[in-house]
Chain A
């Protein structure tokens, strides 16, 4: 069982590398996979492998940051969604369950309304997301209910408050230029992600992913009942807090640089559990690889399918929603 799960994770890792190389070549200026390998070798070693300046510029300066972003955010959203699903013992939960996405969206909208720079939009969104988490934790800790339940309930309230605030910002925004900017940003797109954004969120997202991967065994135990986990001797509050903070940092970072990219955090964990294992020691790395590959491929479609770039948030929903229905029907059949 474990050996099978392990080998599947390795295969998914290799698939991810292939996806990265292929998608670096896709676009108006097509370069084959071998060409990409040569570009990368030439870029890293400085030796000449026969690739011209144009190819180098397109791959290394235009496509590489974007694909790095899609890989990072895809991996991050998938593992963040999976973490939330396990923490809240509910496979239908997605990374926006605690309202951090709504808060980050509000932060971004407000920054756009105030005419701040792109970098400041990202920073404001990120801060708003984290602030929402602190707010939720503070309020939830004051209730007398079980912690996971009160977090969900308070999260719902905070989420709807921030959604309303975003609507209010849209209402008062200039309908000629600011409102479209807000709307377009919130649709979710990787087109605006540059090296600056990567520098901003790359480190926190990467660290959060690594922490979650290392913590995966203990996160398994969170999906048991509270009594069972405590009986086994696990400090659930501590593990849960670290897991939620990491998952939230990823979610807020994602919204901060790319707007709302839905569905990845919901369906990828499902697929990786179906194909690999329920055990987070294996399903976490497989979600990371799967999420990275999925978002990168969808982003390829988003930038190459038509003359006008389609926001990736729309595409993930087009793919994710029917797939989710499929899962739902599959589960119904399974139960009966």
Chain B
């Protein structure tokens, strides 16, 4: 599955947020989206599943425009996981995952045994046994993200779109969530996520896309950032990207 974004522009009233942007995402890619506040990251992520209508350009999956797909059809290709999710009525972890099956049910249908069995498979896959019987408001932020990812898998979505999945998480949970996503990407899923932490992006991505002022200013691997001043320009201060002795890539602000 290839998601192609061509010549995408978007404006909030007169304010142009995205400007002729091109991007493609293939299976097995984990793309980290970097950029300052207001660079258009969230707008781009919300445009992909057509939550916003682009003013110009196309977004297509295997050459089929996303905006022409029915909601249910689209849900089988991609899942959008927003930054903060707090239901007024917190459901159990199992019920929350089960909700992902709704795109295969008709208006008046409830999930049955088949869907419940699939939930158990996904709990196995993501190793969520310890929290499976708990309520969403009693688990940690990182675990909550995992449940939302599990729900996306329940949808059969291949592309996971995550808006700042690591914000509000402590450091170990940040790593845990990104590592689990990395495991899924190795199995052929693809993922695009935004983050304000360049270090996390450098360590957990197959590609880094940097946005500034509504367009893409960098699109390449973490290794290509070593020795460049690209991050410095984006964040407006001197940042060095270096490879550690163990082979990892990190950034160090001066």
A residues at B contact (CB < 8 Å)? 1-2, 85-86, 89-91, 214-218, 220-221, 223-225, 227-228, 230-235, 238-239, 273, 277-279, 281
Contacts and interface: CB of A to CB of B under 8 A. Distances in A.
Interface stretch (B27-35, B74-82, B203-211, B220-228): B74-82
B88 interface: yes
B110 interface: yes
B85 A278 contact: no
A220 B95 contact: yes
B223 to A, nearest CB: 33
Contacts of A233: 71-76, 102-103, 155
Among all A-B residue pairs, the 4 with the closest Cβ atoms: A233-B75, A233-B103, A231-B80, A217-B110
Contact of A232 (B46, B88, B100): B100
Contact of A89 (B74, B79, B87): B87
B155 A232 contact: yes
Given A218-B102, A227-B51, A232 B87 contact: no
B88 A225 contact: no
Given A232-B102, A273-B89, A279-B91, A238 B82 contact: no
Given A231-B81, A234-B102, A224 B71 contact: no
B89 to A, nearest CB: 4
Interface string B145-189: 000000110010000000000000000000000000000000000
Given A217-B109, A233-B72, A234-B71, A223 B88 contact: yes
A216 B110 contact: yes
A234 B151 CA distance: 14
Contact of B82 (A85, A214, A225, A273): A225
Contact of A217 (B85, B100, B102): B102
B88 A218 contact: no
Contacts of A238: 107
Nearest to A216: B110
Interface of B: 46, 49, 51, 71-76, 78-82, 85, 87-92, 94-95, 99-100, 102-103, 105, 107-111, 133, 135, 151-152, 155
A174 B151 CA distance: 62
B98 to A, nearest CB: 9
A234 B110 CA distance: 13
B155 A89 contact: no
A238 B151 CA distance: 22
Contact of B107 (A2, A85, A228, A239): A239
Contacts of A2: 94
A230 B108 contact: no
A4 to B, nearest CB: 11
B89 A223 contact: yes
A277 B99 CA distance: 15
Contacts of B135: 278
Contact of A1 (B49, B103, B109, B133): B133
Nearest to A90: B88
Contacts of B110: 216-217, 281
A259 to B, nearest CB: 30
A238 B107 CA distance: 9
A232 B75 CA distance: 6
A234 B80 CA distance: 13
- Residue picked from B46, B75, B90, most chain A C-beta under 10 Å: B75
Nearest to B148: A228
